[in-house]
Homo-oligomer: A and B are copies of this chain.
Amino acid sequence: MTGRPKSGEFDLIARFFEPLSRAAPGAFGLGNDGALLTPPAGASLVVTKDLMVAGVHYPEGEKPAVLARRLLRVNLSDLAAMGADATAYALGLALPADVGDGWVEAFAGGLGLDQDAFGVALIGGDTVATAGPAVLSLTAFGTVAGAACLTRSGAREGDDIYVSGTVGDATLGLRAVQGGLAPLAPEDRAALAARFRLPEPRLALGAALVEIASCAIDVSDGLVADLGHLCAESGVAARIEADAVPLSDSARRALAGGEAAIADLITGGDDYELLFCAPPPTRSTVEALGRALGVAVTRIGATAAGQGVTVVDARGRPLTLGRTGYRHF
Size category, A interface: 35 or more
Can you name the residue of chain B whose Cβ is closest to the Cβ of A47? Answer: B35
A3 adjacent to B132 (CB under 8 Å): no
Stretch at the interface among A24-32, A99-107, A288-296: A24-32
Chain A residues 1-30 with CB under 8 Å of chain B are: 2-7, 26, 28
What copy number does this chain have within its complex? 2
Tell me if A51 and B131 are in contact (CB < 8 A).
no
Tell me, rounded to whole Å, the shortest Cβ–Cβ distance linking A218 to chain B: 6
Whether A33 contacts B139 in the complex (CB less than 8 A), given A50-B3, A131-B132, comes out as no
Q: Looking at the complex, which of A53-61, A109-117, A237-245, A257-265 is the stretch in contact with chain B?
A: A53-61
Pick from B35, B55, B142, B270: contact of A48, CB below 8 A: B35
**What are the residues of chain B within 8 A of A208 when measuring CB–CB?**
none
Q: How far is the CB of A111 from chain B (nearest CB, A)?
A: 15
Give the contacts of A109-130 with B (CB-CB under 8 A): 123-126, 128-130
Also in contact, A139 and B49, with CB within 8 A (given A4-B57, A4-B329, A92-B92): yes
- Indicate if A267 sits at the interface (CB-CB under 8 A): no
Sample (8) of A-B pairs whose CB atoms are under 8 Å apart: A3-B57, A3-B74, A31-B229, A31-B232, A34-B140, A50-B92, A50-B126, A51-B93
Instruction: State whether A31 touches B149 (Cβ < 8 A).
Output: no
Interface residues of A (CB under 8 A from B): 2-7, 26, 28, 31-39, 41, 44-53, 55-57, 74, 78-79, 81-82, 84, 90-94, 123-126, 128-133, 135, 137, 139-142, 144, 147, 149, 151-153, 217-218, 220-221, 229, 232-233, 269-270, 325-329
Contact A49 B326 (CB under 8 A): no
Hey, which chain B residues are within 8 Å of A133, CB to CB?
A: 130-132
Main secondary structure of the interface of A (DSSP, over half): mixed
**CB–CB B2/A128 < 8 A:** no
Which B-chain residue is minimally distant from A327 (CB atoms)?
B4
Let me know if A47 and B51 touch, CB within 8 A. Answer: no
Q: Chain B residues near A78: list those with CB within 8 A.
A: 2, 33-34
B contact residues around A79 at 8 Å (CB):
33-34
Choose from B6, B36, B44, B93 the contact partner of A36 (Cβ within 8 Å): B44
With A32-B151, A34-B82 known as contacts, the answer to whether A328 contacts B4 (CB < 8 A) is yes
* CB nearest neighbor in B for A151: B32
- CB neighbours (8 Å) of A56 from chain B are 4, 128-131
Question: Residue of B at shortest CB range from A220?
Answer: B2
Interfacial chain B residues near A74, Cβ < 8 Å? 2-3
Query: Across the interface, which residues of B come within 8 angstroms of A325, CB to CB?
Result: 5
* Residues of chain B lying within 8 A (CB to CB) of residue A125: 49
Do the beta carbons of A33 and B81 come within 8 Å of each other?
Answer: yes
Q: Cβ of A218: which chain B residues have Cβ within 8 Å of it?
A: 2, 33
Q: Is the CB of A34 within 8 A of B84?
A: yes
Residues of chain B within 8 A (CB-CB) of A128 are 51-53, 56-57
Quick check: B326 and A5 within 8 Å, CB to CB?
A: yes
Contact of A45 among B38, B94, B229 (CB under 8 A): B38
Are the CB atoms of B233 and A31 closer together than 8 Å? yes
